[in-house]
Structure 1
Amino acid sequence: MEKRTWLRRLHRPLGMLGGALLAMAAISAAAAQEPTAEEQVADLISALNAAWLLVAGSLVFFMQAGFAMLTGGFVRSKNTANILMKNMIDACVGGLLFWAIGYGLAYGTSDSANGFIGWGSFFFNDYAGFAGWFFQYAFAAAAATIVAGSLAERLKFSAYLIYTVVISGFIYPVVVHWAWDVNGWMSAFNEDPFLASGYIDFAGSGVVHMVGGWAGLVGAALLGPRLGKYGPGKQVNAIPGHNISIASLGMFILWFGWYGFNPGSTLALTGGAYELAAKVAVNTTLAACAGGVAAILYSRILTTRYDPGLLINGVLAGLVGITAGCATVDPWAAVVIGAIASLVMYGAILLLDAVKIDDPVGAFPVHGAGGLWGVLAVGLFSSETGLTQANYSDPSKYGLLLGGGFEQFAAQLIGAAAIIAWVVVTAFILFFAIKVTIGLRVSAEEEEKGLDLFEHGLDSYPDFGPTGPGIFSPGS
Structure 2
Amino acid sequence: TKEAIFPHNLSMATLGCFILWLGWFGFNGGSLLEADPKQISHILLTTNIAAATAGLTAAFTTSRLKYFNNKPELSMIINGVLGGLVSITASSAYVQLWAALFIGMVAGRLVVFLVYLFNLWKIDDPVGAISVHLGCGIWGTLAVVLSNQNKLLCDQIINAPLCNSESLGVIKIFQQLGIQVLGLFVVLLFTLAFSWVTWSILKARIGIRVSDEDELKGLDRQLHGVDAYQGFEKRKV
Q: TM-score, normalised by structure 1?
A: 0.45
Percent identity between matched residues is 37
Residue 335 of structure 1 deviates from its aligned partner by: 0.8
Equivalent position to 1:291, from 54, 60, 82: 54
Structure 1: which amino acid aligns with 2:150? T
3-state SS of 2:156 partner: coil
Residue 396 of structure 1 deviates from its aligned partner by: 6.0
The 2-side partners of 1:243 and 1:237 are apart by 18
Structure 1 residues 398 and 364, CA, compared in 2 at 3 Å: closer, same or farther?
farther
- Measured against aligned partners, the alpha-carbon deviations of 1:52-101 in whole angstroms (never above 9, x if no partner) come to xxxxxxxxxxxxxxxxxxxxxxxxxxxxxxxxxxxxxxxxxxxxxxxxxx
Structure 1 residues 386 and 359, CA, compared in 2 at 3 Å: closer, same or farther?
farther
For the pair 1:321 / 2:84, whether they are aligned, the reply is no
Unpaired segments of 5 or more residues in structure 1?
1-229, 231-235
Residue 457 of structure 1 deviates from its aligned partner by: 3.5
Equivalent position to 1:410, from 175, 178, 194: 178
The 1-side partners of 2:51 and 2:232 are apart by 38
Residue 389 of structure 1 deviates from its aligned partner by: 7.0
Unpaired segments of 5 or more residues in structure 2?
none
For the pair 1:251 / 2:17, whether they are aligned, the reply is yes
The 2-side partners of 1:298 and 1:357 are apart by 22
2:63 corresponds in structure 1 to 300
For the pair 1:261 / 2:24, whether they are aligned, the reply is no
1:441 corresponds in structure 2 to 209
2:221 corresponds in structure 1 to 453
Structure 1 residues 398 and 442, CA, compared in 2 at 3 Å: closer, same or farther?
farther
Structure 1 residues 466 and 369, CA, compared in 2 at 3 Å: closer, same or farther?
closer
For the pair 1:310 / 2:76, whether they are aligned, the reply is yes
Residue 443 of structure 1 deviates from its aligned partner by: 1.7
For the pair 1:335 / 2:101, whether they are aligned, the reply is yes
Q: Which has the larger radius of gyration?
A: 1
Q: TM-score, normalised by structure 2?
A: 0.87
Structure 1: which amino acid aligns with 2:83? A
How many pairs align?
A: 228
Residue 465 of structure 1 deviates from its aligned partner by: 5.5
The 2-side partners of 1:372 and 1:316 are apart by 14
The 1-side partners of 2:151 and 2:213 are apart by 55
The 2-side partners of 1:430 and 1:453 are apart by 28
Structure 2: which amino acid aligns with 1:334? A
The 2-side partners of 1:458 and 1:409 are apart by 53
The 1-side partners of 2:155 and 2:11 are apart by 38
The 2-side partners of 1:368 and 1:440 are apart by 22
Residue 354 of structure 1 deviates from its aligned partner by: 3.3
Structure 1 residues 370 and 460, CA, compared in 2 at 3 Å: closer, same or farther?
same
Does the 8 Å CA contact 1:387/1:395 hold for their aligned counterparts? Answer: no
Does the 8 Å CA contact 1:320/1:370 hold for their aligned counterparts? Answer: yes
Structure 1 residues 397 and 433, CA, compared in 2 at 3 Å: closer, same or farther?
same
Structure 1 residues 421 and 328, CA, compared in 2 at 3 Å: closer, same or farther?
same
Structure 1: which amino acid aligns with 2:77? L
1:347 corresponds in structure 2 to 113
Does the 8 Å CA contact 1:327/1:386 hold for their aligned counterparts? Answer: no
For the pair 1:391 / 2:159, whether they are aligned, the reply is no
1:98 corresponds in structure 2 to none
3-state SS of 1:405 partner: helix
Does the 8 Å CA contact 1:459/1:465 hold for their aligned counterparts? Answer: no
Equivalent position to 1:278, from 34, 37, 41: 41
- Measured against aligned partners, the alpha-carbon deviations of 1:188-223 in whole angstroms (never above 9, x if no partner) come to xxxxxxxxxxxxxxxxxxxxxxxxxxxxxxxxxxxx
1:425 corresponds in structure 2 to 193
Pairwise CA RMSD of aligned residues?
Answer: 2.4
1:62 corresponds in structure 2 to none
- Measured against aligned partners, the alpha-carbon deviations of 1:14-58 in whole angstroms (never above 9, x if no partner) come to xxxxxxxxxxxxxxxxxxxxxxxxxxxxxxxxxxxxxxxxxxxxx
Residue 453 of structure 1 deviates from its aligned partner by: 2.1
Structure 1 residues 386 and 240, CA, compared in 2 at 3 Å: closer, same or farther?
farther
The 1-side partners of 2:207 and 2:227 are apart by 24
